[in-house]
Structure 1
Amino acid sequence: MDAHGSFASAGTGKDADVIPINVGRHAATPEPEPSDLERRIASGLAFLRRRLTGEYEVDEFGFDPEFNSTLVLPIARALYEHWFRVEVHGLKNLPADGGALIVANHSGTLPLDGLMLQVGVHDNAGRDLRLLGADLIYQVPMLGHLSRKSGHTLACQADAARLLDKGELVGVFPEGFKGVGKPFHDRYKLQRFGRGGFVGTALRAQTPVIPCAIVGAEEIYPKIADLRPLARLFGFPYFPITPTFPLFGLFGLIPLPSKWVIQFGEPVPMGDYDAAAADDPITLFNLTDHVREIIQQMLYDTLLKRGPAFF
């Protein structure tokens, strides 16, 4: 062994090869990157741990952002992307921050349009949409609990005002069950918008109203009849008959794969009026009718843009 810590080869001549030996050191073996499956399992286990230990946050309305982004949105997104193939237009009309009231048409027999609107806003605008739901939803224990954890709350002026004051993006369907439960032959014809409560809320909060047209929901469960005796028996606003339900049982609850388009219109500013206008019935009626006319025209235009319902 020479002075530099290396051994000579078997030959002893001056031309003998010298083989260096790295004394006391070994090359570090790189750690393998975890696979996508391993990451998902680890994320799922961490989610369960937080659920069991209560290490998650819920706001005053019951909204659980982690639950929504981990469970609700991925399921809804599968329908959004692969079944309904939703297109979203007019995203520039959604504010990046601050409160605003999205006012949309309502249809589809089952209100899947709310979920698709929620996914569209979340994935394209990066904001949580706080939907206002009918009383009936919150009278069903599991459904009401799930709705609140998803960010929905009761469709009342008090809750809407509190959300807008917090700078949230709020969604409302003024047609209510009249829209979602209308027969197929009335598709894309807006029903009455109530008494203009949503306009009064926007006026008091001085937040803009953003008209929204949703095309595609009308075709998922074409309602051709209504069994009113069964509806009264179960306490439902209607009991629909569609081409697939109840003829095919639970399989009839699979929505038809119509092509969807969601269009956001230009905001209708409320800053041109003072908050006191919210108590003026004439102003409320005129503004409500104005928003309704905008959405109806948007529906006609978006229908032409969408083209055939299933292609």
Structure 2
Amino acid sequence: MADAKVIPFDDDRSRGSAVQRPSRRRSAGSRRGGGVGEGRAGHEVGEVQALPSRARAQDDGSVPREKQRQQPDHLEQQERLEQPHQAAQQQPSAEDGLDRRIAGGLAFLRRRLTGDYEVDDFGYDAELTDNVLMSLLRPVYEKYFRVEVKGIENIPAEGGALIVANHSGTLPLDGLMMQVAVHDHHPAGRHLRLLAADLVFVLPVVNELARKLGHTLACAEDAERLLRQGELVGVMPEGFKGIGKPFSERYKLQRFGRGGFVSTALRRGAPIIPCSIVGAEEIYPMLGNAKTVARLLGFPYFPLTPTFPWLGPLGAVPLPTKWTIQFGEPIPTGGYPPEAAEDPMLMFNLTDQVREQIQHTLYKLLVQRRSVFF
């Protein structure tokens, strides 16, 4: 072993065999990698080369090959130990989320103060609706009325469509809850543009809030324009007859007018989606109607409930009933010719079909309901 360490190595070095060293090192490396086809001579040559290279490495003060071979494993272990710590640092903390919300709120206030926001021709303010108004309605929707939504997949992801729903509850909270249901549960996060009565737009404060939420007058012109723009439009054809009916007639649909909503849908070829709402009838059980007071105030009715007006402002708090909103299968209108919108018989048949489907679903949901409040 001593002879091999002196004679072959010196002979090779003296003959300028440094050019051949890389090939020898590759053979030694392949030997360490576990090559099966190497002979004994290959092992001896590898050992002869390893001894002087170890001596040079130690003389130069560098790391020996044994430690160099162990170093990658040590680095891998260290990287594995550092990965959870780095991942924890990359995850956003609660303070970062709070900072982002504060920054977003300040930016929102700046845009409101400077007027740097958009409002459409109807007065709809999408930013205010998403950031403020929906945030105010959502706790009532989720915690107070605990609304359960069914059939949301029947609402198309894009394009114009007309949602027709029953109307009840003395105060029109059912329209607002339906608006939150579409906004929060639809996969596309669509906005529902409700058609409201004239009274909504003459009341102070209520007028501005209704416009900001995207409501507009219940007229054929506005409805057709929204559908042409690809909006989702909501209408409650019962009007004040439905919302102001006595408690003894709850969940009995009133007349659907003259079918103007059907004519609008036919002109635009928009599908009609029936919607049934259970739970709104009991929030203000209307036991009577003070017609004289209603005429003096200019209201279509003045409700008398078990709590209002006897308890004053406290009587205006709705009862915490459990709601269910179900969207039915769409009724297509795209297959009719343009002149179909002027056919009174067709409009009557489609109106009756929508009404019957809503009424049937209401009865079905009432049979399934076990409690008004739970």
| TM-score, normalised via structure 1 length | 0.88
Q: What 5-or-longer segments of structure 2 have no aligned partner?
A: 1-88
Match of 2:147 among 86, 105, 111: 86
User: Greater share of helix residues, 1 or 2?
Assistant: 2
Match of 1:279 among 331, 342, 358: 342
Q: Secondary structure at the match of 1:141?
A: coil
* 1:99 counterpart residue number: 160
Match of 1:152 among 215, 219, 234: 215
* 1:202 counterpart residue number: 265
Q: What 5-or-longer segments of structure 1 have no aligned partner?
A: 1-29
Give the whole-Å Cα distance in 1 for the aligned partners of 2:368 and 2:150: 11
Match of 1:138 among 182, 188, 201: 201
Once the two structures are superposed, the pairs formed by residues 252-263 of structure 1 within 5 Å of their partners are: 252-263=315-326
Give the whole-Å Cα distance in 2 for the aligned partners of 1:225 and 1:263: 29
Give 1:134 deviation, angstroms.
0.3
Deviations 1:62-100 (A, max 9, x none): 100011011111111101100000000011211011110
The answer on whether the counterparts of 1:261 and 1:306 sit within 8 Å (CA) in structure 2 is no
Give the whole-Å Cα distance in 1 for the aligned partners of 2:99 and 2:290: 50
Q: Secondary structure at the match of 2:180?
A: helix
Runs ≥4 in structure 1, deviation > 6 angstroms? none
Give the whole-Å Cα distance in 2 for the aligned partners of 1:212 and 1:265: 6
* 1:248 counterpart residue number: 311
- Structure 2 residue identity aligned to 1:235: G
Give the whole-Å Cα distance in 2 for the aligned partners of 1:65 and 1:94: 20
| Equivalent residues, number | 283
Give 1:293 deviation, angstroms.
0.7
Give 1:36 deviation, angstroms.
4.6
Deviations 1:236-267 (A, max 9, x none): 01000111111111111111000000001100
The structure with more radius of gyration? 2
1:40 has 2:101 as partner: yes
Q: Secondary structure at the match of 2:205?
A: helix
Once the two structures are superposed, the pairs formed by residues 68-87 of structure 1 within 5 Å of their partners are: 68-87=129-148
Match of 1:216 among 279, 297, 315: 279
Match of 1:111 among 140, 148, 172: 172
Deviations 1:22-51 (A, max 9, x none): xxxxxxxx8995355444333222211110
| TM-score, normalised via structure 2 length | 0.73
Give 1:305 deviation, angstroms.
2.6
Give 1:271 deviation, angstroms.
2.0
- Structure 1 residue identity aligned to 2:103: A
- Structure 1 residue identity aligned to 2:353: H
1:239 has 2:302 as partner: yes
1:58 has 2:119 as partner: yes
* 1:9 counterpart residue number: none
The answer on whether the counterparts of 1:100 and 1:164 sit within 8 Å (CA) in structure 2 is yes
Give 1:112 deviation, angstroms.
0.3
- Structure 1 residue identity aligned to 2:333: M
The answer on whether the counterparts of 1:259 and 1:306 sit within 8 Å (CA) in structure 2 is no
- Structure 1 residue identity aligned to 2:315: G
* 1:188 counterpart residue number: 251
* Percent of aligned positions that are identical: 64
Deviations 1:180-235 (A, max 9, x none): 11111100000000000000000000010000000000010110000000100000
Give 1:281 deviation, angstroms.
1.3
